[in-house]
Amino acid sequence: MKQIISLATVLVLINTQLIAQQPATPDKIYGALFHEIQMQKVYPDGKTFVDCLPKRKPSDIMYDYGLMKGPSFDVKKFAEANFIMPVAPQLNYITQEKNVEEHIKNLWSVLKRDADQPKEGSSLIPLPNPYIVPGGRFREIYYWDSYFTMLGLKESGETAIIESMIKNFAYLVDTYGHIPNGNRTYYVSRSQPPFFAMMVELLASIKGSTAYTTFLPQLEKEYNYWMEGATKTTVGKTYKRVVRLKDGTVLNRYWDESNLPRQESYREDVETAEAAAMELASRIRMSSPEALNKLLEEKRKTIYHHLRAGAASGWDFSSRWFADGKTIATIQTTAIAPVDLNCLLYKMEMVIATAKQLKKDAAGAALFKKKATIRAAAINKYCWSKQLGFYTDYNFETRQQILQITAAGAFPFFVFETNNAVLKLQAKQAAAVIKEHLLKDGGILTTTIKTGQQWDAPNGWAPLQWVTITAMERFGQNVFAKDIATRWINLNTAVYQRTGKLMEKYNVVDIHLDAGGGEYPSQDGFGWTNGVLLALIKKYGAQ
């Protein structure tokens, strides 16, 4: 018996060590070369280099870099000689279909990746099962994108690939203790909006309730990741993704473990942090240059952390995270308890309760239902704004609601139980707010503020259309839900007829213009647009 216990203990320790190990990221592998390539903008898009494959051993490349570096060193020529640029395969796909539904169904095979094979020096984390990528510069699986992609895969009868993708996410949870932003080494330090529970629910709607019990272990592991430190965090304190408010209420926030520039947006982050540091320097006077430099370096690290947390939110970037509501250098993501994140964790708690009930674990099911009930009450207390008649985010540092209307305010109606008289009344108020502030010719705005960031006006995004439409449907606003869906279907279809492409995001204000803003050009492909559009057409018809 002692030998068995000892072996079990060893296995637990080995598994813990595996989870703790973080794969080497490109900045660690290539050091000064990485910094030079990114800061000199050898590639227009910072994500290009971190996705490159080395033509030979990285250690040999770095050895030669050390020998060759000097005043006449041509970093662009060196990069071209030593790295293979990534390719976006859908660029090889020639659109021939006049019908957008047929196009989407044909495009699944273009966006599909088979199980990966490990390659030395690659930032790609190999996955054991096939999966669908979004498209364009996004050559890997993305966490929250995948749920919305699955909506279309379901309508296409692609059940096998849905299950494969969910198995991949389960593998990532088992390997790292959470689902990374995407299957790249530089994404492991953060997650994304936690839709895994809803993916399992979607699979259960296709294959039956065994999906809940099959993936219960990974559901609980992911829940533990989000709630790490909750029982030890004291009143008024935070720990990673957990926030315990002054009254003892526990909510969650987005978080990244690192305070360095994102590898895939290195130059952009350095420039943003520098702008914030210089603004701070212009406002203060310190007699000691050393003390000033230390303060400015801390400011840069803080900005990096907020930028990374903003990337974890999926809304990278938006006025939603900015202290002044307009400038990215004022980003404050980790000071905010987002309404949508906490709604998704409510949903996770409810799905876990369902899975435990199916496992005949009545006590476990009751516990998670109680957790969900407590969280719903907290969301209503801290995120429902009587002033706006809408749900919004809560800044726990200032202890104030952020009085900004965004599409995230639809999430409570997307996940909460519908048999609640108060919530039904709030849904009517919310519908009026959405109609007045967010509804445009092409669908729902992300926010009402125009900043030049891609998750702001005039842009609309497929996942937020689906959430808002579904939310309104669930609370009896069927005519309004159909109106939103019709506008979005018409916009997507018109752009497709004009360009032969489905886009990452759309301009919902001027439906004759392309969407823009952010760190990179708008991408085509596009996983979640395809999924949501196909699901909406199946429900409402092609307009």
Spell out the per-residue pLDDT of the chain, length 543, in tens: 444 444 444 333 434 444 445 789 999 999 999 999 999 999 999 999 999 999 999 999 999 999 999 999 999 999 999 999 998 655 556 777 889 999 999 999 999 999 999 999 999 999 999 999 999 999 999 999 999 999 999 999 999 999 999 999 999 999 999 999 999 999 999 999 999 999 999 999 999 999 999 999 999 999 999 999 999 999 999 999 999 999 999 999 999 999 999 999 999 999 999 999 999 999 988 889 999 999 999 999 999 999 999 999 999 999 999 999 999 999 999 999 999 999 999 999 999 999 999 999 999 999 999 999 999 999 999 999 999 999 999 999 999 999 999 999 999 999 999 999 999 999 999 999 999 999 999 999 999 999 999 999 999 999 999 999 999 999 999 999 999 999 999 999 999 999 999 999 999 999 999 888 888 888 888 999 999 999 999 999 987
Q: How far out from the chain centre does Cα 437 lie?
A: 24
255 vs 190: CA distance, rounded Å: 7
Give residue for tokens 């018809």.
541
508 vs 446: CA distance, rounded Å: 10
Query: What are the E-state strand segments in 270-412?
Result: 336-337, 384-385, 390-391, 394-395, 400-401
Per the structure block, which two tokens stand in for 47? 């994500």
538 vs 309: CA distance, rounded Å: 35
454 vs 472: CA distance, rounded Å: 25
Write down the pLDDT at residue 4. Answer: 42
Of 501, 505, 530, nearest to 90 by C-alpha is 501
Of 55, 60, 59, nearest to 81 by C-alpha is 55
Is-contact 391 379, C-beta < 8 A?
yes
User: Which phi-psi region, left, alpha or beta, contains residue 254 (left: φ > 0; alpha: ψ -120 to 50)?
Assistant: beta
Report the chain's C-alpha Rg in angstroms. 23
* CA distances from residue 353 to 373, 382, 423 in whole angstroms, order as listed: 12, 24, 22
User: Which phi-psi region, left, alpha or beta, contains residue 67 (left: φ > 0; alpha: ψ -120 to 50)?
Assistant: alpha
Is-contact 252 384, C-beta < 8 A?
no
Of 216, 459, 230, 475, nearest to 351 by C-alpha is 216
Write down the pLDDT at residue 21. Answer: 56
Write down the pLDDT at residue 91. Answer: 53
271 vs 532: CA distance, rounded Å: 35
Q: Please provide the DSSP assignment of 76-132 as one string.
A: HHHHHHHEEPP--GGGGPPP--SSHHHHHHHHHHHHEEPPP---TT--B---SS-EE
Query: What are the E-state strand segments in 377-450?
Result: 384-385, 390-391, 394-395, 400-401, 439-440, 443-444
99 vs 198: CA distance, rounded Å: 30
The neighbouring-strand residues paired with 132 are 112
Write down the pLDDT at residue 286. Answer: 82
Burial of 159 (0-12, 13-18, 19+ CB in 10 A): middle
Per the structure block, which two tokens stand in for 253? 């926030």
Q: What pLDDT digit, counting tens, does each position of 114-125 carry? A: 999 999 999 999
Q: What pLDDT digit, counting tens, does each position of 49-66 carry? A: 999 999 999 999 999 999
Rounded to 10 degrees, the C-alpha dihedral 72/76/80/86 comes to: 160
10 Å Cβ neighbour count for 209?
13
510 vs 515: CA distance, rounded Å: 9
Write down the pLDDT at residue 285. Answer: 86
Write down the pLDDT at residue 18. Answer: 40
332 vs 397: CA distance, rounded Å: 10
Q: What pLDDT digit, counting tens, does each position of 259-295 carry? A: 999 999 999 999 999 999 999 999 988 889 999 999 9
Cα-Cα end-to-end distance for the chain: 68
Is-contact 211 45, C-beta < 8 A?
no
The catalytic site residues sit at: 316, 504
Is-contact 336 396, C-beta < 8 A?
yes
Length of the chain: 543
* Residues 6+ away with beta carbon under 8 Å from 318: 310, 406, 446, 447, 451, 453, 455, 456
173 vs 180: CA distance, rounded Å: 8
Write down the pLDDT at residue 206. Answer: 98
